[in-house]
Structure formats: C-alpha cells, structure tokens
Structure 1
Amino acid sequence: MHTTPEVFADAVRRYGNRPALVDEQGRATTYSELDAIRKRAAGALIARGIQPGDRVAIWAPNTVQWVMAALAIHSAGAALVPINTRMRGKEAGYILARSGARLMFCAGDFLGTHYPGLLGDDRPDTLEDIVILHDARASDTGWDAFLDQAPWAHETEVKTRAASVTADSVMDIMFTSGTTGLPKGVVTCHGQNLRVIAEWSRCMGLKADDRYLVVNPFFHAFGYKVGWLAGLMHGMAVYPQAVFDAATVMERIGRDRISVLPGPPTLFVSLLDDPDRASRDLSSLRATITGAAAVAPSLIERIRAELGFEIVLTGYGLTETCGIVTLCDADDDAETIVNTVGRALPAIDLRCMDDTGKLLGPNETGEVVVRGYNVMQGYLDDATATHKAIDAAGWLHTGDIGSIDDNGYLKITDRLKDMYICGGFNCYPAEIERLVAAHPAVSQVAVVGVPDARMGEVGKAYVVPRSGQQLDEAAFREWCRDRMANYKVPRHLELRESLPTNASGKVLKYELRGKES
C-alpha cells in the first residue's frame, strides 16, 4: 500500500467500528463513518471540478473536519496545501497564489478572527471557492452545504479517482521559507511520505490501542504526517486539539486516557510547570518524541520521571525530507537520546560534508547532507532553488552543521542558515526582515535568534531608524503583529546607528549573534 487512500481503506477494513477521531467535546467518529464522509467530500470536490493534480488548500486549526477534508483531497487525486493558521492574509494569499490552489477549506470565526475576511483583497484570482469547515457565517459556504453537493453516484467516481493515485502522485505541497525571504513549496509524493511515517511509527512503537492527542498543528509535518495520518494508519483513536492550553490538555489526558503525546520542548515545559499538574491523572501517557529545538538533558529526565513516559525519543528532520531524517530507538540509553538526534532511517544516506564538497568521516564536523527516498521532489516551479538545495550527486544540503559518531548517530552542533526556532516554529530572518523593512520608520533591519527560557529562541531585531524617525518598541511589535504570524514577531528591539557589514555591504550577523552569546 503506497497511497493515503489505500492505507486508510485498509484501516477501515480492520478497525471499522472503532473510533478514528474524537473532537474536543468528546464526540467520536468511527473509521467506517469517517470513510463515508471522506467519500462524500471527495465526491463534492470532483463535482466542483477538482482534477487529479490540482491543489487544494486548508487554512484551519486542528479539528476533525481538517482530517476529513485532507483525506478527501487525497482521495480525489489532488495535492494538499496546508497553510499556517498564524499567517496573516498577505502571507496566506501568497501561498494560495504560488500554489495555484483552486479551492480552500478554511476556518470561519476562530480566536476572534474571521479567516475569509482576513484574506480580504489578498485573495488570488486563481482561488475559485472557499469552504468553511466550522464556525461559518450566514454568507459562507459551510461544510454541510459542501457535502450536500456530492452527486448520488459519487462513490463510484471517488473509487475510480482514488485508484488512479499512485506512489508517485503528489501528496502535498508544504511551504517553507528560505534565505530568499519568500516561502517555497516543497513537493512530496504519497509513497515516500508513507514509508517515512511507517518508520517513525515503528520507532514510536505505535499500536491500535493507543490514543493519540495531536497538539502539534496540522499545517506542520509533525501534526499532519506523523500526527493524525500516522494514527489513522495504525487504527488508533486520534484526538485533535485546536489550541494548546496546559490545563485542557491535562484534562483530556486523564479523561480520555491519552497514551501518545509528541510535542516541542515548550509543550512539556508548560505541562511540567503547571501548578495543578500534581492533582492530574497522567498515568496513561506512554510514548512521546520531542525536537524542533535544543533539548536540555534535565527536560528529558523530567519528562520521564514526572510525566511518566516510557518512551521518550528525539529526532531530526526537515519539510524537505517528509519531516524525518533521523530517529533514536526506544531502547537507546538516556545519554544517546539527550546528546544526539538518532540515526538515519533505513535506506537513507546521511553524511557530513565540508565546504569543498568532500564527504567527511565519523566525528568530523561539517554540513549535514541527506540522500534517499525521503528527499523532496523539488521546490514548486523553482528549478534554481531546487538545484541549489540538491546537488548533482543527489545530496540535499540541510544548512545544518553536525557530526556523525561511529555508530551512525547524528549530533547537530550549529546552523549554516540564519534560521532559528521559536516555540517549535521555524523562523527565517530574511522573510521577517522583508516584512519589517516596510515599516515607515525603518531604514535597515537585521534579525537574529537569541536564547529564551520558554520559547527556546526568539527574534531580536537590530534596526537603524530612518533619519528623524522615532521607533517605540511596543508600537513596533504591535505593527509587526498586524503583518506576520505571532511567532515571527521580534520579541526584542535594539536601535543602532549602523549595522556591521563586510566590504560588499552584507550584514555580518555573526557579530550580532556574538553580542548575544
């Protein structure tokens, strides 16, 4: 089985009457019921003219409808384009236009924002339809009305369309920023993703009796590929969580006997530091994996001792590698789990390379490069960026610096790129700088990541103001919040008369970082 429709159909045959999805109100949808909704939604997509290979976006928080829509997109032979819910209208509009998405499933009113209205004038002409998954307004096309558009004979057409999907069909296009400051669409296929998910699930020891609370956002590979999709592949009950709140998460763990709960370090810090934790029943917790930021040894020890996890793993991956490159094994000792990010998945080549292109030996430090079935097909409609990322020998250059020990375990020591990770989210300074540069009082800006006790890293903006202009830090942050996702907003501001540059005028960020170290 090499496609999402195939593996889900197999799960339905094996686990039909068991719960597949359980919403935040405790309402369960069985595998058989989810299958019927999947087919109906795929039929409605086909009725709206969605063709194999078309792109369909989802811009919504973690809900059962998100999963239903995604399964329908795959079953109709289309490619899924997830959009970060923290993005503003201009950011989402760029991704919609760049991907050429013809239809978007979207949240309605969520956290005080009406998402279709947020898109506003940034809605591209190529976007033909918007379907509201939940909390729709009277003028919106809601989920139920969309489902009603499926023709009576939709099952036959859906079966034919799903059968035409192959391992080499594009499964999704996930946008990730880069040093150019503009997001790039990472194209990956069904077969490679499912193979990665199977290996991740093996290391996690997933089983059908597990109950998986997915707090990691569905627009990210951590919440989507090795999140709800991994859960459904193995017959588990999947519990989507739209917004992280420590008290709510602990309540669900106790009430629903949650056994699997991955997340970034910030999630576990919040749980461990919650004053009510001692009164909560967390005894059902069994397996977790953390990453996306530096993990302190003491945190791993506390996750095991105080939260009771039997399996605590770390790993490493990129959007360009279907989310995963390396994983620890469940029987690795604590020192290995703390000090490395594990070994490469089977059949994946992992090496370090020096700046001349020479492959290095064990314990030699260089850029981490990856080659194998998990490497993306390329960046969407961007051959130049693809060739820059993947060399002639097929090595994907990650931009991270590390070394590999004699047993094949990778240790990440630094980054070549400017990227930093804030609360589990990748932040790309070039993108943030491009947005900040539009501020009327900003002449020059450079953004770097600085340590933060809670978030791991946060952004600090070094700004040279325009002549005669004043810049208030609080007002600056508020201006940024209106124009970019909150995690991208620089938490610190330092005004400078000038920025350090080399002879060609390039900002020397290592000098700014050195100031913070």
Structure 2
Amino acid sequence: MLDLDGNPSTSYDPDQKVWSGSGQQSLYNDELTVGQIIFRQLQRQPQRIFQISHSDNTRLTRSQMLQNAAKVGCYLRDRGFKKETDLVGLMARNSTHVGAMAYGCLFNGTPFHAVNPNLEQKTIASLYKITKPRILCCDVADYEKIKDIGASLGALILTVNGKMKDVMSVSDLLQNPLPEDYEPAQFQRGVDRNMAILCSSGTTGTPKAVTLSNSRKLFEIHSYLGSDDVQYAPSTLDWLTGLITLVTAGVFGTVRLISSEMFSTAHFMDMCEQHEISWTIMANSHVAMLANCPDARAQKLRSLRHLLFAGGHCLVATLKKMQSFLHGSGILRNAYGLTEVGTLISYNYDTQFKPTSVGRLVANIRVKIVDSLGQLQGPKGLGEVLCHNGQPWSGYVGNPGATAEMRDSAGWFHTGDVGYFDEDHYLHIVERKKDMLKYLGMMYYPHEVEEVIAQMPDIAEVCVFGIWRETEGDAAAASVVLRSGSKLDAKQVEQFVRKNVSVQFKHLHGGAQIVPQLAKSANGKVNRQAVKAAYLRDVTPS
C-alpha cells in the first residue's frame, strides 16, 4: 500500500518500538512454487517477445522460453532431481539460455546455487564444496575454472553459451522432445520450499551460501510492472537484484533484456536508446558512473520510468545530477534490501524529498532499532537495524553458527547496518556496523567524510576507510576518482576536508589518493576493504 506521495506506508508502535510496513495478503496460493506461477504466466500471449539478448542478438517469444525451460525441468525430473538437496550450480553470465536453465530449475522445484563467474577459483570451489551440486552450468570461457571442481564433486558440467568437444551443452539438452502433458512439480506449501541459493555480498569476508524460499515477497512489491515494460539489470543471478529481475519478468509478463557485458555507461545508454528500457535496478556505483559521465544525456535515458539503485549510499550531489537526466520525479529510487531476507526491506520513491533515506518499509516487513546496549530505540534513535519478514528461512547452507548470528530465535535478522527512523517513518542507513571507526577515542563513520569530499565539483566517486595506528586508532584515508579532465591533487582533497569538517578526528589523517577507479565486487558494490588494501600497497600514510 502506498501513501499519497507514492511511498510505501509505514506505521510505528511506540509501545513496542517497532515500525511496520502495510499488511498485504498474497494473491497466490501457498501451495504453488514460483516456478508453477511463472509456468502459467508464460502460457499467456505465447507469440509476444519475452527475452532479448543484446550481446547474443537473440530474441525468444514467451512460448519459446516456456518450451526451453520445460525441457530443462523435464531433464532434471528424469535424472531424479527430487529433493531440496539435489542442486544445480549456475555460474554463468546473462546469455540466451541462462533464463531457461533457471526457470527449468524452478519448474522442477530444484534449487539452483548461483555463483558469480568473476570470483576467484578457490572461492567458487569452497562455495560449491558446501552445497555439492549434481550439475554445474558454466560459460565456455569458464570451463577450465570449474572443470576440477566438477570432477571433485562427481558433477556433470553443462556449458550454457556455446559448445565444447566432449562436454554437454544446454543447447544439446534443448534438442530433447517435450512430453505434451508436461507439468511443473507440485509440493505441499511450495511457498516454503527453497527456490535458490545466492551468495552474500562478500564485502565483509568470504561469501556465504544464502538460501531463499519461494516467497512472494521477492516479486509482489513490483506488481506495478506490466507487459509494456522492458526490464534490465546488469547483475547476474547470484545477486538478489538479478534474481528479482528474472522472477518479476516471468510473473508480470515484461520483456526481459539481458547482456553478458559488464556494466558501462556507454553500453547502458546504447541499450536504453535501442531497446527503450523502462525499468532497471543497478548498484549505487553505477548511478554515480552515469551521473558523472560526460556523454550522459536526458534524451538517451528518456525511456526510463523506474531507475532503482541498491547496495549502498549515493551521494546527494550525485542524486541531483542523475535526476537532471530523468524525465520526471519518482523515477530515481533507493532500494534497501538484504539477500538473507529475500526481498527489499524499504523503498524510497522520492529521493528528491529525502535524498539520504532508503525510504519506508515495504509490505509485511517489520523493523526495530537496537543500540549497542540492546536497548530499543524510538524515532531518531541510532542503532543496528533488525528486520522481520514473517517467513521461514533455512539459513546459510552448512553454517549453523553464522545462521544463528544472522537470525535470532525470535526470527529477527541482524542486518549489521546502523541506522535510524526519522519523524516521517523514513529509514536512514548510516553505515555498516563493522565499518564504524574510532580515532582518538571518538567514533565516526566513513560515509560522513565521503559526503563532505563529494561536495568538491571535481570528485566523481570517493571511498573512505580507516588506517590503524596503535596510539591513535583509525585515521581516516580516502581514495577518490576524479571527473574527466580534472587536475585536482590529493593534497587539495585533504585541505578541503580540514576546511569543511569542524572536528579534527574526522580529518584525513591517513591521507588521500587519486585513483582511476574504485575496487568493486563482481556486481558493482564498492568493496571498501579492497580499496583500502590497494591504498596500503600504493601509499605510505604520513
């Protein structure tokens, strides 16, 4: 439910000190899996285009996608994939047949474990050692990276975007005939069955294998989507936004636009012009890249009606610049979610009114703020954000300790984010709990210093981190990316902070560095630890 301004409505219980999104009844029977829902939806308007691959130059109708996915589902059924522990590993970029492979898993009730192909081989091996997929799907280019992993697991390897000698491909599988009476698998309370296993972001350590159920919360908050929409997300299926895009396209009948290319501003704007993208969800760093791109033009982005960003802060100056390229208010939206929760937690439809907020809570989500002493906080009270989604969670595969740390016995997820609610029930995320820094006994967050540096006209992106010193604590340091043509030097950045921050403990005592780009995770989120590691290699702090 939305308020008069188009934002989700959120209420506050002052006795319990809990904020709640609106109550919303699902339209779908709890017996159905998401795969069963998508199977029925794809039967409608069979000749309409469902998927366009920009990089492969292919188009699939809804009927073709349905047939391909059903053949995958039939193949899994015939190979005895019946239990939730019968998994498919999916390590592939967004090429033509990845969607059919994923939908086929959903049709059969087979969870797929999506892992980003850009991860290090040892990380991929450790993740698949935990979940033990029976089939591993990969791009031809990544076969050597996964070959030994498959052999150690006794898993069949399928290539999804081409063929190799003596290796089965998905296109081979799609040559199989499909029984006329094929139906997707049925289960008691399909809504609670595990649907997919994704990876935690990995920005604070080795990624964990996160289970997600067939919850309707994954897609129902996007029920405004329809057949006139063209959806695109640069992320692969290992990130929650990639999965949301895959599922919402199937449920709401949009056109699914994919590309195997990494995000770049030129590539995104070309696709906007060529395919008229109306809905996209991207990392906050991608918005910064677009806003600061010399070639960005409102004309190139005229088709966008919904531009969601997630994964962290966007600086206020960046939001204002990005808004100038969009045709109307309410298009640029901040989405805050958590892979473990399996959905967005809050949604800010009006980044002009509340630019530093992640918005109000989505339906059926409850949140409370707890300080370091375990005390519940009211409006304006700062503490860790705890979230309750009211549904079962199977936790991290093979890691009961981390599961218990993430979700307590009462069902509250401990997000690790520090934040507060303002008087209008808008949630503000201050920083990751683990990113809190302390210098000369005074606590501060990197984001506070980043906002100041971002006020410099020559700054395109900035990442602040702490350099540990035994006698002082965490001395703030910064890596900054300049706008094209800028001649700014690091000393000017340090001087600007000294001039514009009144307290000395937030000054750049660790120094500053100009860099061509910031280290990011495979899906575009700035990796603060990696940026810091690069800084320590290159700079000897003063």
Category of TM-score, reference length = shorter chain: 0.7 to 0.9
Q: Which residue of 2 aligns with 1:361?
A: 378
Partners of 1:210 and 1:268 in 2: how far apart? Answer: 20
Q: Which residue of 2 aligns with 1:432?
A: none
Amino acid at match of 1:231: A
- Counterpart among 13, 25, 39 of residue 9 in structure 1: 39
Partners of 2:300 and 2:120 in 1: how far apart? Answer: 38
Deviations 1:105-124 (A, max 9, x none): 11112xxxxx1201343446
TM-score (norm 1): 0.75
2:41 aligned with 1:41: no
Assess if the C-alpha contact under 8 Å between 2:159 and 2:169 holds in 1: yes
For residues 205-244 of structure 1, the aligned pairs below 5 Å read 205-225=224-244, 227-243=245-261, 244=263
Q: Secondary structure at the residue paired with 2:220?
A: helix
Partners of 1:181 and 1:318 in 2: how far apart? Answer: 16
Q: Which residue of 2 aligns with 1:405?
A: 422
Higher deviation after alignment, 172-181 or 342-351: 172-181
- Counterpart among 158, 161, 168 of residue 141 in structure 1: 168
Q: Which residue of 2 aligns with 1:382?
A: 399
Q: Which residue of 2 aligns with 1:505?
A: none
Q: Secondary structure at the residue paired with 2:126?
A: helix
Amino acid at match of 1:195: K
For residues 165-244 of structure 1, the aligned pairs below 5 Å read 166-176=190-200, 181-190=205-214, 192=215, 194-199=216-221, 201-202=222-223, 205-225=224-244, 227-243=245-261, 244=263
Partners of 2:236 and 2:199 in 1: how far apart? Answer: 14
TM-score (norm 2): 0.72
Return the offset for 1:207.
2.3
Return the offset for 1:179.
9.5
For residues 312-461 of structure 1, the aligned pairs below 5 Å read 312-328=332-348, 330=349, 332=350, 334-336=352-354, 338-373=355-390, 376-418=393-435, 451-453=479-481
Segments of 5+ residues of structure 2 without an aligned counterpart are 1-27, 437-445, 448-462, 466-473, 484-520
Amino acid at match of 2:277: I
Assess if the C-alpha contact under 8 Å between 1:287 and 1:309 holds in 2: no
Amino acid at match of 1:35: L
Deviations 1:177-207 (A, max 9, x none): 67994432211210x2x223211x14xx322
Deviations 1:389-429 (A, max 9, x none): 222322111111111123321111122125999xxxxx9x9
For residues 61-72 of structure 1, the aligned pairs below 5 Å read 61-72=93-104
Q: Which residue of 1 aligns with 2:155?
A: 128
Distance 1:167 1:258, change over 3 A: same
Segments of 5+ residues of structure 1 without an aligned counterpart are 110-114, 422-426, 430-445, 456-480, 497-511
Distance 1:87 1:353, change over 3 A: same
Assess if the C-alpha contact under 8 Å between 2:199 and 2:238 holds in 1: no
Assess if the C-alpha contact under 8 Å between 1:96 and 1:127 holds in 2: no
Q: Which residue of 2 aligns with 1:27?
A: 58
Q: Which residue of 2 aligns with 1:98?
A: 130
Deviations 1:328-376 (A, max 9, x none): 2x3x46122x121012222211010022322211110011101123674
2:308 aligned with 1:289: yes
Amino acid at match of 1:78: T
Partners of 2:406 and 2:201 in 1: how far apart? Answer: 13
Return the offset for 1:280.
5.9
For residues 472-487 of structure 1, the aligned pairs below 5 Å read none
Aligned identity (percent) is 22
Return the offset for 1:34.
0.8
Assess if the C-alpha contact under 8 Å between 2:112 and 2:195 holds in 1: yes
Return the offset for 1:276.
3.8
Partners of 1:415 and 1:292 in 2: how far apart? Answer: 11
Return the offset for 1:240.
0.6
Partners of 1:453 and 1:162 in 2: how far apart? Answer: 52
Distance 1:33 1:271, change over 3 A: same
Q: Is the helix fraction higher in 1 or 2? A: 1
Distance 1:145 1:486, change over 3 A: farther
